[in-house]
Structure 1
Amino acid sequence: MNRVFLKSKASLSTAFFILAVAVAVNLSFAAAPVSAGINENAAGFAWGGGAATNGAGYDGIGWVSFNNLSDGSAVGYGVNIPMTNGALSGYAWSEHYGWLSFNGADLAGCTPALSAATRTGNAITGGARILSIRDAGVNSGGWSGCVSLAGNAQDGSPYGVSVSPGNPSSSLSGYAWSDELGWISLSGVTFTAPITLKVCEGSFLRGINTTPSTAFSMPQGTAKDLTAYYGSEANCSGTDVTTNAGTSWNENTGSSVISLSTVAGKKRLQATTPGNENFSASYNGLTATMAATVVCVASNTCAIDPNGVQVCQSETYTIADGCGNTVTCNGRRNCDYNWKEIAP
């Protein structure tokens, strides 16, 4: 398939729309609809451009940044691309046209209709939307701002955006298509697993647990040593921030179910009183919340209850187990009921 940068379905009759879009772009950046940057996993730039034909000094969407960490902007924004199957979300920023939304809700009114941007296997399908064009209304010159991420070109050949999986970073390749602005190459876009904060039992290096935990069930009186990891890794690895000065650990005020302390560079979770309590770790704007369930350890059992030796094995009696439960026990006394008559 031959691509010509850029082929538009229509040209604007005046510079009014270009001016309107420029004003809208500046206003929209000042009132950005997004936040973060570090929490969006895409980075780099897409490109769509060619010889200037619209009188504005540029033709096409131009450079499109997929994360404010890529262009150094103080306004946080970014696009999330799933590491497996799932929907894309978030916003990219075009130097000429402003926000390029990858949120499915912004595709309403696109003709032909576009589905939400989605990753299936290593293919990206669906659409995106240039919001300044959509929001220009009657001043849009008939443009919609809709961008197709996969389809068939005018010559019938297929086009689309593909994922090249990598570790730790994956990349995009291929082209999207805008009826108004032409081809957009996404070959400069990369993405990694989102940065998360994970809490794990023990240490990955010591091999105690390799899966992050969100819930702990513990017998009363026991303890677990926890490690907090910060990074894009899915398992219990990354940067150990357990005792970092920027890490805070919190438990429910007034609850005595658990207690937290620092021991040998780990956070010790002590099971104190039967019940349930949530606790959390926070670092660099991220919070991991865990639930702890402390199970009562019975202080009295049928095997150790002293009354058992006073009750015959064929009989039962009840005891309190120390955890608020009543337990039925069999006696432990060997009683001989084989009466024999003895002559006087």
Structure 2
Amino acid sequence: MSESVLTAPKTSALPRGGFVRRRLRNPWRRPTILATITWGYLAWSLIPLVIAIAVSFNASRSSSTVHLFSLQWWWTDPSDSLLHDPELHSAVIQSLRLSLTTMAIVVPLGVAFALGIDRWHGRLATGANFVMLLSFVMPEIILGVSVFFVFSFLLKFVPLGSTAQILGLVTFQVSYPVIIVRARLLSIGKEYEEAAMDLGATPRQSIRAVLLPLLYPAIFASAAIVFADTIDDFVTVRYLSGPVSSEPLSVKIYNFARGQPSPAINAAATFMLASTIVVAFVAYLLYRAFTKGQRTGGLGDLATRL
């Protein structure tokens, strides 16, 4: 009886391009190239912010000379600091006024509009969705110029300044809460409202006691996005600016940077960044507070809400 000799099959060398095919064959591998590109983009975007923040605490007027740590350009300098410079101080107040007022108008208006679109049917809902998406994807410079012509030729009784800026910002920002709340409504579905009405609630009670608490995450996210996008808006507020007192911080930084900029500009830019981070953090805390029991409550706690 002859013994059969088992020989291992010969493996041919990988052809050219085998490395790429081997990498593509395993979609769950660690995306090294994608991670490198992502971290490189984040570093490219954040390094200028880190430099501006560091320079804002520099005691020297020249950015090439580093003398950390000083609050000279924040409030200790009696004339050139962010707190004592009248133009920068007025610009900070104007930016906060525009951001808070726009957020207070846009968020309730967007929530109501999203609820209306969710209940409309036919061409009206399709047209409303199209208008929201159109204002969302339209370049801001086109909207800024259009709103400027509207206030200059059609609505002449509205002077350029704070009122025109708020109306222009509301026109541009209202699409954010509408789209975000609309997406939340689609993810929630109709089950909660129908269950609430089966328990005896009126349509108004089902919206107030059941639907609105479920919309809080989208509402707070919308408020944070609107505030962050408004406080650093430049195009719309620049076209609709009237007197010098109506220029917000973004326009003031642009005007100062064209000449010999003061180091207090870096403090102003840091203030804008810090304001955005604080508002986002407060929105997150409110989201955690208002949605504390939503993950465990489900449909069983509807009777306690009504």
TM-score range, shorter chain: under 0.3
Q: Which has the higher contact order (CA 8 A, sep 6+)?
A: 2
Indicate the structure with greater strand content: 1
| TM norm structure 2 | 0.20
| TM norm structure 1 | 0.18
